[in-house]
Amino acid sequence: MNLLGRSLPVAFALALLLPADRAAGETAETILIRQTLEKDRSGRRRGDAELVLSAYDEDRFVAYDAGGLIDGRGWSVLHGSRQDVSRALETDLAVRRYDIKRAVVLINVWKDKAFATTVDSGMVIDGATGARTPFTQSLLWTFRKLDDEWLATAVVVALGDSTAGPASGRVEADDVVRVLQQQAAQWNDGSRSGITSGLTEDAVMVDAYFSSNPAKWLIVFADREEIDEWLDDRLEVVDYSLERSVLHATVHGDEAVAVTRDRVTATYASGDARVTEDRFSTWLLTRSGGSWQVDWALQKTKPFGPAEGATALR
Amino acid sequence: MYPVDLRSISRSLAGAVSCCVVSALAFGCSTTEEQVREQIEVLAANDVGSERWQGAVEALTAIGRPGARQLVALLNPALYRGTDYRDFRGELERTTAGAATVLGNIRHKAAVASMTGRLTIANRDTERRAAIIALGELGFNQAAVKNLLVQLKDKDPVIRLLTSVSLAKIGEDAGWDTILQAVLHGDPEFAEMAIGELERSNFHGVPILVELHGGGVHVARLDQALGRVRDELIEQLTDDDPEIRRRSATALGAVGDPAAVKPLLTLLEDSSNLVRFHAASSLVRLDSERGSEFLFRSLADADAMLRLNAIKSLVRVQQLSGGVEERLIACLTDNDSGLRSGAAQILGQAQVNSALGPLLSLTEDAEAEVRWNTAIALGHLGDPTSREALQRLTEDSTETVVYYAQWALQKLGAG
């Protein structure tokens, strides 16, 4: 049989596997990420914790609670490890069943990292009474690609939308504050190695472009090496000055969430422009070898005002 | 607030910058890619329109197409990631506006798709304006026209004006009225901006400037603008590109300044046929006898191609200025049948009604070609008094004459 003859049936079979409602702009990577998300949904629906967990990274998986907010000052660590998640999941699935549909709102991929937002909707069914409770929840997922498989590394549950107002931050972890302040000092010193020493190898940076709409966010760096490379050139041409305040820092086990407000001033080696910008950033940190390191950072998030009059949607 | 003049890049710097670039290349100081990267950093670090920003635009323009790939990438916000990441929106604005300006200057047509993406209101005004201006430089493209037409509905009058000028540059007159209104009824600052845009639009802006000049407002400023354009056009008469020479020569006829006669005369010896004929047409419009001589001599030439060009040129001249009417009518009684035939064609196509009587006489010409061209001319004029003569021609011994006489009668309609 010639090559065409052998290839056609395979191509036909692959075409059948593609979802009928494949969205415009879909790529091989986004299809694989959808499959991972579907494992999670399907596992919850069937009460199969093992299937759910197969979608999660074995090395590291963290669940955060956004508390119905998009403002990171309202976020906290819900389950600090995959083991915690597993325990909570098994307990939950033993007493409830999730009859849910999942809409994938967006997927943003850069190299071997990605994030996605989903909206789950349907019913939660109480195992004992059979009582059905309507259920809707927005989630933010982070992923990394490992051996051609996309695995979820974190989920932020109860994510708010742009209508959810500001939250009051809680500064509860001095060691996290110290690390973030040290990092700011490294920017002021123009020390590339100093800046990146506080990052995990897989650290991801997202530019949120001052928006609370994740559809406008973009992963700009997929790992520490990429940030290093960028800083090598960047610090040659731009001089940064940072004044940082830590507005929120909360820890659960070896995981932490923090929010900073930076006043950044930049001057250029090649010109006269001078930029001053106020930035809010949400940091997801992990403790490794006793020291805190940034694993994901949402830079330039929406600059919410003071928390008075906040309307957190729960 | 009106935009920074993105195109006021001093031409005088071009030579110096080109030399620097060439020297750098010759001495192997850095690769072109590195030079482009360095200049992009200068764009990023300086306000749009500042001297250093303009210097970078000039340098990148001098580098030209080898830098185009890096510049096109600057038009796509999704590509500002990894080592190309820029964390300040202002930087993106400065690099995007710079890239659009350079790509317009070097007429990099492949940038149209990326450029149209910068037109939407999601972009900053500086970026939109640079992209609109650049699209005008890139020439006709269906997608560009479609996207520019949308901008004509923008609520920002500056965007509408720049779009109108760009459309005019690519041969679309959809925004012509917007420009006229800006000059005739806009506040002084806005009118000045519109005139300035036209002044910088080379030959594209000439027809509108000329029309405005007849409007009786801002006369001194329009005189100045036309003077500047005239000087630029005269300079372009020696351009290497025959299309630039042709269009410059044509525009000089419209400007109507006698100072252009002498430089236009040199083009009567140009290597390009088209350039010669357009220069001659403009000379006629400027009342130069040498232009008329050239065209009428060509009309009588044995070379059919020269005759054809002469006919086209004389039709154009007659339609635009009416300056050759008497001489054409006189040609109808010339001994040379080629001249009689050509003059009949021109008078018909230019619809010179005063030629009706002499044309009717020509229906009895001894030469069949003259008779059929006369029939066609009478058809174009459409005067009912020519019906009888045309009826007679339907009995002509030459089939072609009969055919065109019937065609002309059809044009006259029933009656």
**Structure confidence by residue, pLDDT tens digits, A78-111:** 999 999 999 999 999 999 999 999 999 999 999 9
| Cα B293 to Cα A195: distance, rounded to the nearest angstrom | 79
pLDDT at B81: 93
* pTM summary value: 0.78
Q: Which residues of B344-376 are buried (b: 16+ CB within 10 A; e: fewer)?
A: bbbbbbbebeebeebbbebbebeebbbbbbbbb
| Cα B81 to Cα B74: distance, rounded to the nearest angstrom | 11
A275 neighbourhood in chain B, CB within 8 Å: 88, 90-91
pLDDT at A10: 43
Q: CB A221 to CB B81 under 8 A?
A: yes
- Sequence-distant (≥ 6) Cβ neighbours of residue B264 within 8 angstroms: B237, B249, B252, B279, B282, B283, B286, B288, B291
Q: In what order do the strands lie in the sheet with A238-252?
A: A218-221, A199-207, A291-301, A274-288, A255-268, A238-252
Mean pLDDT to the nearest integer, A150-160: 97
pLDDT band for A24, please (50, 70, 90 cuts): low
Angle in degrees, CA A179, A180, A186, rounded to 5: 90
Q: Which of B43, B51, B83, B124 to mutate to test the interface with A (most CBs of A within 10 A)?
A: B83
- Model confidence pLDDT, tens digit, residues A183-221: 999 999 999 999 999 999 999 999 999 999 999 999 999
User: What residues of chain B score a pLDDT lower than 50?
Assistant: 1-3, 8-28
| Cα A307 to Cα A309: distance, rounded to the nearest angstrom | 6
- Model confidence pLDDT, tens digit, residues A2-18: 444 454 444 444 443 44
**E strand map for B220-317:** none
| Length of chain A counted residue by residue | 314
Closest CB from B38, B47, B80 relative to A273:
B47
Cβ pair B363, B344 in contact under 8 A: no
Strand partners, A279: A262
Q: CB B81 to CB A110 under 8 A?
A: yes
Cβ pair B294, B283 in contact under 8 A: yes
A233 neighbourhood in chain B, CB within 8 Å: 83
pLDDT at B415: 60
CA dist list (Å): B22 to A158, B13, B18, B196: 60, 14, 6, 33
| Cα B132 to Cα B291: distance, rounded to the nearest angstrom | 39
pLDDT at A306: 65
Is pLDDT above 80 for A314? no
Q: CB B83 to CB A226 under 8 A?
A: yes
Q: CB A266 to CB B44 under 8 A?
A: no
Closest CB from A111, A222, A275 relative to B90:
A275
Mean pLDDT to the nearest integer, A119-142: 95
Q: How many CB atoms lie within 10 A of CB A170?
A: 14
Q: CB B81 to CB A299 under 8 A?
A: no
pLDDT at B22: 47
Q: How many CB atoms lie within 10 A of CB B99?
A: 32
| Cα A301 to Cα B333: distance, rounded to the nearest angstrom | 85
Give the N- to C-terminal CA distance of chain A in Å, as an integer: 61
Is pLDDT above 70 for A235? yes
| Cα B362 to Cα B341: distance, rounded to the nearest angstrom | 9
Which residues of A have a CB under 8 Å from any CB of B?
A: 110-111, 207, 209, 218-222, 226, 229-230, 233, 237, 266, 268-273, 275, 277, 299-300
- Alpha-carbon torsion, ordered B387, B389, B390, B394, to 10 deg: 130
Q: Which of A270, A279, A299 to mutate to test the interface with B (most CBs of B within 10 A)?
A: A270
What is the token pair recorded at B388? 């009888």
pLDDT at B414: 66
In chain B, which residue's Cα lies nearest the Cα of A267? B45
Q: Nearest to residue B298, comparing CAs of B273, B324, B323, B321?
A: B273
pLDDT at A35: 97
pLDDT at B6: 52
| Length of chain B counted residue by residue | 415
pLDDT band for A298, please (50, 70, 90 cuts): very high
Q: CB B46 to CB A299 under 8 A?
A: no
Q: CB B82 to CB A268 under 8 A?
A: no
